[in-house]
Amino acid sequence: MSKHYTYPFLKKLDEYFRERFGGEVDLAALFTNRTLRSEAVERVKRALSMKRGESLGVSAAELNEDEYLAFYMGLIVSGFTDVWALRKYIDSEVKDFIELMKLESSKFLWNVSRMLGLSSELLAKDDECGYKAVLVSGPKQEISCFQFRLTIPKYLTYAEKLLGEAGWSLLETYVREGYVYLPKSKYVRLLEDPLKEYLTKLFDELSVKLADVSVLEDLRSDIAEVIRREYKRLRVEKPGQALPSEIKEEFFPPCIKELVKSLRASEHLTHIQRFALATFLLNVGASVDYVLDLMRNAPDFNEKIARYQIEHLAGIKGGGKKYKTYSCAKMRELGMCVAKCEVKTPVQYYARSLRNLKKSSEKLSSRNQES
């Protein structure tokens, strides 16, 4: 079986058509194939409804040309329909690819990483240990195996969005003589963001080739409309779940505004960024349902997991403890502070802004009564 059937990004569509059919790719003709159109619709639907693990539709052993072509058709249609839909589609596909790649050899992962522009060293042949190190934790010693290593600057660049998670800081990794050593299980996660960027570039390249956009208009009834329906289902606020009327987003501190802006643009937020945003909202009076609906914009949103985490932060689940948001000093330490607000916490900034609003309203009311 060809690897590009399992991982369509390994072979660009125009390259595939030249090898398979001896000519240039005809996207307009491709979209007239009813079987492929149906495959693409299902692929996009699964991605937008976040049914992770189903976007491939079949086991890796059964993947074929139709699945390969449907992947690219789904990429094109989602991208031409909505930026949010494109990001959701790419995120879902990448998550599935990463899960499959965990079963691949270290050499395969290294070759993929090189294609994506990552600079690292492969220390193992096939899946052998590569580099052994004895790690000491108190009275315990254990031998750890590493298949990859990369320089500290490269590691900090590639793992930027992971550094806030447990096990990814330099203090929690094996570092020796300027290199960070990683096992295959961690190295594969470094491929997520570069792969998302690569798929976005693939869409940009294909969008230029699709001169006859009218063929997409013809697909509105079975593809574009599905995307819009899923888009609305996930994003429309339900009755009773909106932010309380007394909460005003225009008075959020700059750091929180940046997080909300990024989230609504469907950008990936780290664990600590989500913690900061969720705890702030809960502490200024937002409901669990509102926070949950805001989090729906995340490309990796999972409603069941997100609801539990938000309820845990609100003190509804777990030990009953309602979590406070980070102080401004902690926000600066974590790289989330974007302005000098002269307050101690983001919540204090918001409360101060509301007080100033109330004072201004009272003054205006007093003047009106006097006049």
Domain match, 356 and 265 both: yes
- Residue 27 and residue 251: Cα distance in Å, rounded? 48
| Residue 107 covered by a domain | no
| Residue 238 covered by a domain | no
Q: Are the beta carbons of 50 and 302 closer than 8 angstroms?
A: yes
- Residue 229 and residue 287: Cα distance in Å, rounded? 25
| Residue 110 covered by a domain | no
Q: What is the pLDDT of residues 162-173, one digit of tens each?
A: 887 788 889 889
Domain match, 28 and 63 both: yes
Domain match, 80 and 214 both: yes
| Residue 157 covered by a domain | yes
At residue 35, what is the residue type? T
Domain match, 187 and 200 both: no
Domain residues for the domain of 40 are: 3-102+193-233
Helix-then-strand count for the chain, H and E:
18, 6
Q: pTM for the full model?
A: 0.64
Question: Tens place of pLDDT for every residue, the chain, 371 residues?
Answer: 468 889 999 999 989 888 888 878 788 788 888 888 888 888 888 887 755 444 444 444 456 888 899 999 889 888 877 676 788 889 889 999 999 999 999 999 999 999 999 999 999 877 778 888 877 666 777 788 999 999 999 999 999 878 877 888 898 899 999 999 999 999 999 999 899 999 999 988 888 777 666 666 666 555 556 665 655 555 443 333 333 444 678 889 999 999 999 988 888 888 899 999 999 998 888 878 778 878 888 888 887 788 888 988 888 776 667 888 999 999 999 999 999 998 999 999 988 887 887 666 556 555 555 55
Domain match, 199 and 79 both: yes
Domain match, 83 and 134 both: no
| Residue 239 covered by a domain | no
Per the structure, the count of domains in the chain is 3
Q: What is the pLDDT of residues 291-339, one digit of tens each?
A: 887 888 888 888 778 888 898 888 877 666 788 899 999 999 999 999 9
Element (DSSP H or E) covering residue 170:
none
Q: What is the DSSP letter of 326?
A: P
Domain match, 158 and 284 both: no
Domain match, 170 and 141 both: yes
Domain match, 52 and 23 both: yes
Domain match, 85 and 202 both: yes
| Residue 56 covered by a domain | yes
Domain match, 123 and 60 both: no
| Residue 304 covered by a domain | yes
Domain match, 318 and 345 both: yes
| Residue 17 covered by a domain | yes
